[in-house]
Amino acid sequence: MPFTPLHMGPGLAVKAVMHRKFSLMVFGWSQIAIDLQPLLAMTTGLVELHGFSHTLLGATLVGLLSGASGKHLGEWGLRILREPRHLPISWGVSFGSAFIGTYSHVFIDSVMHVDVFPFSPFDLSRPLHAIISIDTLHVLCVVLAVVGGLVWWVVDRLRRR
């Protein structure tokens, strides 16, 4: 299913560690961008469900596009949320966050979905598929979200003082 919030779990954990060197806005944008193909597949049936966007090659392309568009989109989002302390988002942070987003997305979906071939078109193996159960993967993502979110929130409050 496209746009599952579970992908934000690792993002919150990375945010807790990297703080201003990572943009959760751009990371989130990259999650939406990479799942546009599954959305298109589900609504039109014209493309493969995961296909190219969920390969390392596709994730690199989506990461480049998300990084290039994410800086201004993320800054716009931060202004709407009235979080000017986090402005501006540098180009390095934008591209870095987008790539962390798309590669972690492919990693997670490679475990979860039978039709994700991360090394396609060079190799059609699925070395990560079902290495852990989907339930365990979901629990891991939720734990990362809760722990990462909590650590980020506490550190952010301490820095405001």
Q: Given the rule CB under 5 A, which residues bind Zn ion?
A: 35, 109
CA distances from 46 to 37, 40, 54, 56 (A): 10, 7, 16, 22
Smaller CB separation from Zn ion, 86 or 113 = 113
Distance CA(100)–CA(84), nearest Å, equals: 23
What token pair was written down for 148? Answer: 């990462």
Is cis: bond before 84, omega within 30 of 0?
A: no
CB of 11 to Zn ion, least distance (A): 14
CB of 112 to Zn ion, least distance (A): 8
Smaller CB separation from Zn ion, 35 or 75 = 35
CB of 35 to Zn ion, least distance (A): 5
Amino acid at 7: H
